[in-house]
C-alpha cells in the first residue's frame, strides 16, 4: 500500500480543483485554503478539510502545493505574515505549480531552506483536460532528493514528469512551453479562419490536418472547441498574457530578442482588451474573425 500524507492545497481554480482531487482519490488527507472559501466547496465535499490561513495549512502538512494565478499571488501566499513560509514545518516540502517567475522560485527555495524546509517549482502543461484526466506534463526545478520525495504525489496528477535542474529550472521549461504555444495558437486560428473563408468544413479539416505534420495540441484539443464557439476557459487568456510577459522579460535578461513571441503577445493583449480576458485562449479565433470583417 502506498504511503499517505497530510497535504496542504492552496488555489482552487479551473485546474487546481481536479488536481487536488486526484490527491484525495490517492488517499491523502487534504487541507485546503483559498481566498474565497466557497471555491473550496467541491474539494470539501470530496473529504478535504478547510484551513483558515496559508500558515495553518503549512503548519499541519507534510507537503504544501500551490496552484495560483500570478507571481504576485505566489509571493503573497508564501511570504505574508500568515503565509506558508511563516508556518511550514521543518522537513516539509513546498511545491509551487503556478506558472511564475524563475527568480521568485529561487527566492522561495532560499527562504524555505531558512525554515529547514525544501521547495520545488513544478509548473504544468495540459490545460483543464490534462488536469481532469491526471495526465499533465509537470516540469520541475529543485534538488534531486526533494523531487524524489514529491514524485509519488506528482504521479497522481501527471504522467510526464521530469526534473530539469536547480530551483527556477521548472519555470524556465514552462516558459519554453509557452513560447511554443503562443505562436502555435496564432497559426491554429489563422488556419481555421482560412478554412472557414474557403467554405471548407472546419471539423473535417481539423480531423485530417491534425493527423499530419500540422498536428499539435492546439488544433486537436482546442480546434473542436473553436468550431463549437465554446470559449469557456481551459486556460485563461489573462494568464497566458501574464506568461508571455514573464517569458519576454526573462528573454531580455538573457539578451534574446524573440520577435515571434512579441508579435503573439500583441495579439493576445488585443484579445484581452476586447473583453475576453476571462475566456479560454481558443477565443483568439473570434477576435481574428472580427479583425478580418470586410
- The pair phi, psi for residue 163, each rounded to 5°, is -95, 130
Of the three residues 166, 193, 220, the one that is the final residue of a domain is 166
Spatial contact of 118 and 112, defined as CB atoms under 8 Å apart: yes
Q: Which domain holds residue 268?
A: 172-291
Q: Which of 89, 58, 63, 45 is nearest to 5 (CA)?
A: 63
pLDDT in tens, 78-119: 999 999 999 999 999 999 999 999 999 999 999 999 999 999
The answer to whether residue 264 is domain-embedded is yes
CA 177 to chain centre: 11
Is the pLDDT at 175 greater than 90, yes or no? Answer: yes
pLDDT in tens, 115-132: 999 999 999 999 889 999
Q: Which of 148, 167, 55 is nearest to 110 (CA)?
A: 167
Active site residues per annotation: 174
pLDDT in tens, 42-91: 999 999 999 999 999 999 999 999 999 999 999 999 999 999 999 999 99
Regarding whether 160 and 122 lie in a shared domain, the answer is yes
Of the three residues 150, 166, 182, the one that is the final residue of a domain is 166
Regarding whether 201 and 160 lie in a shared domain, the answer is no
Regarding whether 54 and 32 lie in a shared domain, the answer is yes
Spatial contact of 19 and 157, defined as CB atoms under 8 Å apart: yes
Q: N- to C-terminal Cα distance for the chain?
A: 64
Report H helices in 115-168: 127-133, 144-154
On whether the pTM is more than 0.85, the answer is yes
Report H helices in 26-143: 41-45, 54-59, 71-79, 84-87, 102-114, 127-133
The answer to whether residue 1 is domain-embedded is no
Is the pLDDT at 234 greater than 90, yes or no? Answer: no
Is the pLDDT at 1 greater than 60, yes or no? Answer: no
**pLDDT given at position 294:** 61
CATH number, domain of 257, equals 1.10.1040.10
pLDDT in tens, 274-286: 999 999 999 999 9
Alpha carbons 33 and 14: distance in angstroms, whole number:
15
Alpha carbons 210 and 220: distance in angstroms, whole number:
6
Amino acid at each position: 500500500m502506498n504511503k499517505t500524507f497530510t497535504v496542504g492545497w492552496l488555489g482552487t481554480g479551473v485546474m487546481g480543483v481536479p488536481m487536488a482531487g486526484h490527491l484525495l482519490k490517492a488517499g491523502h488527507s487534504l487541507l485546503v485554503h483559498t481566498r474565497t472559501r466557497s471555491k473550496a466547496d467541491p474539494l470539501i465535499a470530496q473529504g478535504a478539510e478547510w484551513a483558515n490561513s496559508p500558515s495553518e495549512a503549512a503548519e499541519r502538512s507534510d507537503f504544501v502545493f500551490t496552484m495560483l494565478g500570478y507571481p504576485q499571488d505566489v509571493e503573497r501566499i508564501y511570504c505574508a505574515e500568515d503565509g506558508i513560509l511563516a508556518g511550514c514545518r521543518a522537513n516539509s516540502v513546498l511545491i509551487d505549480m503556478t506558472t511564475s517567475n524563475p527568480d521568485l522560485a529561487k527566492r522561495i527555495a532560499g527562504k524555505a531552506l531558512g525554515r529547514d524546509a525544501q521547495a520545488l517549482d513544478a509548473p504544468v502543461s495540459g490545460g483543464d483536460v490534462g488536469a481532469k484526466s491526471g495526465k499533465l506534463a509537470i516540469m520541475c526545478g529543485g534538488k534531486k532528493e526533494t523531487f524524489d520525495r514529491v514524485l509519488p504525489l506528482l504521479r497522481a496528477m501527471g504522467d510526464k514528469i521530469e526534473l530539469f535542474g536547480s530551483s527556477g529550472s521548472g519555470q524556465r521549461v514552462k516558459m519554453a512551453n509557452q513560447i511554443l504555444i503562443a505562436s502555435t495558437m496564432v497559426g491554429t486560428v489563422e488556419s481555421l479562419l482560412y478554412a472557414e473563408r474557403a467554405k471548407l468544413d472546419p471539423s473535417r479539416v481539423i480531423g485530417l490536418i491534425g493527423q499530419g505534420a500540422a498536428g499539435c495540441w492546439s488544433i486537436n484539443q482546442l480546434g473542436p472547441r473553436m468550431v463549437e464557439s465554446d470559449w469557456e476557459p481551459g486556460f485563461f487568456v489573462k494568464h497566458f498574457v501574464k506568461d508571455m510577459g514573464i517569458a519576454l522579460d526573462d528573454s531580455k535578461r538573457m539578451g534574446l530578442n524573440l520577435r515571434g513571441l512579441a508579435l503573439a503577445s500583441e495579439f493576445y493583449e488585443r484579445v484581452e482588451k476586447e473583453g475576453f480576458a476571462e475566456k479560454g485562449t481558443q477565443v483568439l479565433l473570434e477576435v481574428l474573425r472580427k479583425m478580418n470583417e470586410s
